[in-house]
Chains A and B, each alone.
Chain A
Amino acid sequence: MQYIMPLWPAYSELFLLGMVCVILIADLFVSDDNRIVTYALTQLTLLGCFLITLSTLAGPPVHTFSGMFVADALAGVLKLTVYIGMAMTLAYSRAYLAARGMFRGEFFALSLFATLGMMVMISASNLLTVFLGLELMNLSLYSLVALLRDSRPATEAAMKYFVLSAIASGMLLYGMSMLYGATGTLDIAQIATHIVHGGSGGGEAALVLGLIFVIAGLGFEIGAVPFHMWIPDVYHGAPTSITLLLSSPVKFASFAFFMRLLVQCLQGMVVDWQLILIILSVLSLAVGNIVAIAQTNIKRMLAYSTISHMGFVLLGILAGDSNGYGAAMFYVVVYVLMNLGAFGMVLLLSRSGFEADQIDDFKGLNQRSPWLAFMMLLVMFAMAGVPPTVGFYAKLSVLEAVLNAGYVWLAVVAVIFALIGAFYYLRIVKLMYFDAPQDDAPIIVHPDAQVLISANGLAMLLLGILPQPLLVVCTYAIQYSL
Chain B
Amino acid sequence: MIFGLPLLSVAIWVPIVFGVLVLFSGSDRNAGAARVIALVGAVLGFVVTIPLYTQFSLHQHGMQFVEFTPWIQTFNINYHLGIDGLSLLLILLNSFTTILVVIAGWKVIQSRVAQYMASFLFLSGLMNGAFSALDAILFYVFFEATLIPMFIIIGVWGGPNRIYSALKFFLYTFFGSVLFLVALIYLYVVSGGSFALYTYYHLPLSLTAQILIFLAFMSAFAVKLPMWPVHTWLPDAHVEAPTGGSVVLAAVMLKLGGYGFLRLSLPIAPDASHYLSPLMITLSLIAIVYIGLVALVQSDMKKLIAYSSVAHMGFVTLGYFIFNAHGMEGAIIQMISHGFISGALFLCIGVMYDRLHTRQISDYGGLINRMPVFATLFMLFAMANCGLPGTSGFVGEFLVVMGSMKHSFWVAVAAASTLIWAAGYSLWLYKRVVFGAVGNARVETMADLNLREFIVLGLLAVAVLALGVYPDPFAAVLHTPVHDLLALVSQSKLPVQ
A residues at B contact (CB < 8 Å):
366, 370, 381, 386-388, 392-393, 396-397, 399-400, 403-404, 408, 411-412, 415-416, 418-419, 422-423, 426-427, 429-430, 433-434, 467-468, 471-472, 475
Is the Cβ of A388 less than 8 Å from the Cβ of B145?
yes
8 smallest CB-CB distances across A and B, nearest first, come from: A415-B178, A387-B141, A471-B74, A434-B155, A387-B144, A468-B72, A411-B182, A403-B185
Complexed CA–CA distance, A387 and B141 (Å): 5
Question: Contact string, B69-87, partner A, CB cutoff 8 A, digits 1/0?
Answer: 0011111000000000000
State the Cβ distance, B122 to closest chain A Cβ, in Å: 11
Q: A411-B182, A430-B155 are in contact. Are A392 and B144 (CB under 8 A)?
A: yes
Is the Cβ of A399 less than 8 Å from the Cβ of B182?
yes
Cβ of B171 within 8 Å of any chain A Cβ, yes or no, is yes
Most chain A beta carbons < 10 A, residue from B115, B140, B155, B174: B174
| Chain B residues whose C-beta falls within 8 Å of the C-beta of A393 in the assembled complex | 72
Q: Which residue of A lies closest to B209 (CB)?
A: A408
How many residues of chain B are within 8 Å of chain A by beta carbon? Answer: 35
Q: Which of B33-83 contact A (CB under 8 A)?
A: 71-75
State the Cβ distance, A38 to closest chain B Cβ, in Å: 39
Cβ of B313 within 8 Å of any chain A Cβ, yes or no, is no
8 contacts between A and B (CB under 8 A): A386-B145, A386-B147, A387-B144, A388-B145, A399-B182, A400-B189, A403-B186, A468-B74
Determine which of B27, B140, B151, B188 lies in contact with A400 in the assembled complex, contact meaning CB atoms within 8 Å: B188
Which of B102-110, B162-170, B409-417, B489-497 contacts the other chain? Answer: B162-170
Is the Cβ of A419 less than 8 Å from the Cβ of B171?
yes
State the Cβ distance, B424 to closest chain A Cβ, in Å: 37
Classify the interface of chain A: helix, strand, loop or mixed. helix
| Chain B residues whose C-beta falls within 8 Å of the C-beta of A475 in the assembled complex | 74
Is the Cβ of B171 less than 8 Å from the Cβ of A430?
no
Q: A386-B144, A404-B189, A415-B181 are in contact. Are A426 and B72 (CB under 8 A)?
A: no
Q: A400-B75, A408-B182, A411-B185 are in contact. Are A433 and B156 (CB under 8 A)?
A: yes
Is the Cβ of B148 less than 8 Å from the Cβ of A400?
no
Complexed CA–CA distance, A353 and B170 (Å): 37
Counting residue pairs across A and B whose Cβ atoms lie within 8 Å, the total is 88
Q: A381-B148, A430-B166, A434-B162 are in contact. Are A392 and B141 (CB under 8 A)?
A: yes
| Chain B residues whose C-beta falls within 8 Å of the C-beta of A412 in the assembled complex | 179, 182
Q: A430-B163, A433-B156 are in contact. Are A419 and B174 (CB under 8 A)?
A: yes
B residues at A contact (CB < 8 Å):
27, 71-75, 112, 115, 137, 140-141, 144-145, 147-148, 151-152, 155-156, 162-163, 166-167, 170-171, 174-175, 178-179, 181-182, 185-186, 188-189
Complexed CA–CA distance, A393 and B73 (Å): 13
Is the Cβ of A388 less than 8 Å from the Cβ of B72?
no
State the Cβ distance, A266 to closest chain B Cβ, in Å: 26
Is the Cβ of A434 less than 8 Å from the Cβ of B156?
yes
Is the Cβ of A403 less than 8 Å from the Cβ of B182?
yes
State the Cβ distance, A293 to closest chain B Cβ, in Å: 12
Q: Which residue of A lies closest to B152 (CB)?
A: A433
Complexed CA–CA distance, A386 and B140 (Å): 10
| Chain A residues whose C-beta falls within 8 Å of the C-beta of B148 in the assembled complex | 381, 386
| Chain B residues whose C-beta falls within 8 Å of the C-beta of A429 in the assembled complex | 151
Q: Which residue of B lies closest to A398 (CB)?
A: B185
| Chain B residues whose C-beta falls within 8 Å of the C-beta of A467 in the assembled complex | 72
Is the Cβ of B166 less than 8 Å from the Cβ of A434?
yes
| Chain B residues whose C-beta falls within 8 Å of the C-beta of A397 in the assembled complex | 74-75
Is the Cβ of A422 less than 8 Å from the Cβ of B170?
yes
Complexed CA–CA distance, A386 and B181 (Å): 11
Complexed CA–CA distance, A468 and B73 (Å): 7
Is the Cβ of B74 less than 8 Å from the Cβ of A403?
no
State the Cβ distance, A227 to closest chain B Cβ, in Å: 27
Q: A434-B156, A471-B72, A471-B74 are in contact. Are A426 and B186 (CB under 8 A)?
A: no
| Chain B residues whose C-beta falls within 8 Å of the C-beta of A404 in the assembled complex | 189
Q: A426-B167, A430-B163, A434-B163 are in contact. Are A418 and B178 (CB under 8 A)?
A: yes
Is the Cβ of B141 less than 8 Å from the Cβ of A388?
yes
Complexed CA–CA distance, A416 and B163 (Å): 22
Q: Which residue of A lies closest to B114 (CB)?
A: A370
Complexed CA–CA distance, A393 and B141 (Å): 10
Q: Which residue of A lies closest to B156 (CB)?
A: A433
Apart from A387-B144, A422-B174, list 9 A-B contacts with CB within 8 A.
Answer: A387-B145, A388-B141, A396-B137, A397-B74, A400-B75, A411-B186, A419-B178, A429-B151, A433-B156
Q: Which residue of A lies closest to B71 (CB)?
A: A468
Complexed CA–CA distance, A468 and B189 (Å): 19
